[in-house]
């Protein structure tokens, strides 16, 4: 028995160290490019492209960030990204929650077909819908407008499916009790369902905000003027046709990532709780 226990401990020890090594390697893979971008953003252009080792040895300068902020369109792109991401997140939560509640808790003919329609939507790649979406938005004269950038982004199948799955797990007895007391569907939705769904709403907010913030393809097609560019669309414009400027795009990328870092630091507990709840309920 003693030998078996020793062997078991050795196996656990080997597995523990192997897991740590793999975790450190994966962390380095993900964090390495971020550290490289941060180091390059504080260096001069000529120094930044000499060699990989020189990227972390200096000399460093603080001139890149004031130059990007005051002598480029990055602040405008940042404001556009914030406005679009916030509005998309708010509208996504409102409309997806209402639609999910109707499908999950209000019996009507065709509710299963509606849900199946959104499931099928997950199988269709976004690129396949870009052309008809562009034609539709162009026909509504919404190209190069905030409405054209925002409205197509709020109709996501994934967020609705997440909410439908969560709402189906809510006890029907509780909702029926409110109906018996004379409460309508809006009363049930706003006073019962939404307060019980804070974690899943946080999950949808995360998905919607990050998806809108990082969205590149649709803003690239819809935004025709520089004043409506978002950060993912505007940052690549720093690249010249004949030369590659590492410093300017990476400095702008660091500025673009700052709001997401601040949001994560402030709402870390809510984000972790929302993702965990979404994973369990899914």
Q: What string of H, E and C letters represents the secondary structure of 188-226?
A: HHHHHHHHHCHHHHHHHHHHHHHHHHHCCHHHHHHCCCH
Structural domains present in the chain: 2-64 (no CATH), 72-281 (1.10.3720.10)
Q: For a pLDDT cut of 70, what percent of the chain falls above it? A: 84
Contact status, residue 154 vs residue 92, Cβ threshold 8 Å: yes
pLDDT of residue 241: 47
pLDDT digit string, tens, across residues 126-157: 888 899 999 999 999 999 999 999 999 887 78
Contact status, residue 205 vs residue 85, Cβ threshold 8 Å: no
Contact status, residue 85 vs residue 219, Cβ threshold 8 Å: no
User: pTM here?
Assistant: 0.81
Instruction: Compute the average pLDDT of residues 27-42.
Output: 83
Instruction: Compute the average pLDDT of residues 46-68.
Output: 71
Query: How many helices and strands (H and E) does the chain possess?
Result: 16, 0
Check whether 278 has a pLDDT greater than 70. no
Check whether 280 has a pLDDT greater than 50. no
Q: How many CB atoms lie within 10 A of CB 210?
A: 14
Average of per-residue pLDDT values in the chain: 82
Check whether 258 has a pLDDT greater than 60. yes
pLDDT of residue 10: 55
Spatial distance between the Cα atoms of 64 and 74, rounded to a whole number of angstroms: 12
Extract the tokens encoding 59. Answer: 């000399």
pLDDT of residue 240: 59
Check whether 83 has a pLDDT greater than 90. yes
Q: For a pLDDT cut of 90, what percent of the chain falls above it? A: 24
């Amino acid at each position: 028995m003693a030998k078996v226990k020793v062997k078991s401990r050795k196996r656990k020890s080997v597995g523990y160290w192997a897991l740590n090594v793999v975790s450190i390697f994966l962390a380095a893979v993900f964090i390495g490019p971020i550290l490289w971008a941060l180091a390059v953003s504080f260096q001069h252009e000529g120094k930044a492209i000499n060699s990989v080792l020189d990227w972390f040895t200096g000399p460093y300068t603080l001139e890149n960030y004031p130059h990007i902020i005051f002598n480029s369109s990055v602040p405008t792109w940042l404001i556009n990204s914030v406005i679009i991401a916030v509005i998309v997140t708010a509208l996504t939560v409102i409309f997806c929650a209402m639609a999910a509640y109707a499908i999950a808790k209000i019996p009507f003919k065709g509710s299963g077909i509606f849900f199946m329609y959104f499931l099928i939507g997950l199988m269709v790649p976004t690129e396949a819908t870009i052309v008809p979406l562009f034609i539709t938005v162009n026909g509504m004269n919404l190209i190069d407008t905030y409405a054209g950038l925002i409205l197509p982004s709020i109709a996501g199948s994934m967020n609705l499916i997440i909410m439908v799955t969560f709402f189906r797990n809510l006890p029907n007895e509780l909702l029926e009790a409110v109906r018996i007391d004379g409460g309508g569907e809006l009363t049930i939705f706003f006073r019962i369902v939404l307060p019980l769904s804070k974690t899943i709403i946080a999950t949808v907010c995360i998905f919607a905000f990050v998806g809108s913030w990082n969205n590149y393809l649709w803003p690239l097609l819809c935004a025709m003027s520089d004043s409506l560019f978002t950060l993912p669309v505007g940052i690549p414009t720093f690249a010249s046709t004949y030369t590659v400027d590492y410093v300017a795009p990476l400095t702008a990328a660091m500025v673009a990532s700052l709001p997401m870092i601040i949001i994560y630091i402030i709402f870390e507990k809510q984000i972790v709780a929302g993702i965990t709840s979404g994973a369990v309920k899914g």
